[in-house]
């Protein structure tokens, strides 16, 4: 099925400017414009946009998605390596957030048990 850019954007749940942005970034191909009428976008382009959006939901950046799209015809181990690197980065962020959560909880506990209302343990901890 062929669609105009507006129909494509609607089917993909994005706006027309996002379609144009993806074209400029080389993530999707821009169809040739016929002498009369509008460019027609194929189902393949719609599928590619769905791939891009789903990859973003999984935390991949547009740069990483571009690499994934290029790796489409390459051995799976290269794609796997990229996914493993992304997973490792996510695990590091989770560990960092857990450390931050514990530090904030310690400060909140100090605040709850603070009898001296003239000073705040949280402010004291943040001072150099």
Confidence class for position 7, pLDDT limits 50, 70, 90: very high
User: pLDDT exceeding 90 applies to what percent of the chain?
Assistant: 60
Is residue 120 classed exposed, middle or buried when 0-12, 13-18 and 19+ CB atoms within 10 A define those classes? middle
CATH number of 1-59: 3.40.50.920, 1.10.1660.10, 1.10.630.10, 3.90.180.10? 1.10.1660.10
pLDDT of residue 126: 81
What confidence tens digit (pLDDT) does each residue in 107-119 have? 899 888 888 878 8
pTM of the predicted protein model: 0.68
34: left (phi over 0), alpha (psi -120 to 50) or beta: beta
Enumerate the domain spans of the chain. 1-59, 74-128
By mean pLDDT, which of 20-29, 38-47, 84-93, 118-127 is the weakest? 118-127
The answer, yes or no, to whether residue 93 has pLDDT greater than 90, is: yes
Average pLDDT for 53-71: 91
Residue 70 has pLDDT above 90, yes or no: no
């Amino acid at each position: 099925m062929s669609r105009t850019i507006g129909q494509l954007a609607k089917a993909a749940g994005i706006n027309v400017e996002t379609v144009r942005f993806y074209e400029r970034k080389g993530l999707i191909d821009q169809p040739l414009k016929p002498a009369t009428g509008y460019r027609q976008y194929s189902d393949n382009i719609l599928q590619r946009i769905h791939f891009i959006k789903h990859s973003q939901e999984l935390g991949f950046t547009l740069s990483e998605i571009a690499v994934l799209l290029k790796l489409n015809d390459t051995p799976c181990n290269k794609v796997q390596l990229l996914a493993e690197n992304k997973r490792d980065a996510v695990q590091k962020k989770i560990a960092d957030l857990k450390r931050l959560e514990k530090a904030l909880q310690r400060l909140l506990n100090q605040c709850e048990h603070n009898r001296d209302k003239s000073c705040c343990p949280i402010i004291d901890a943040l001072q150099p």
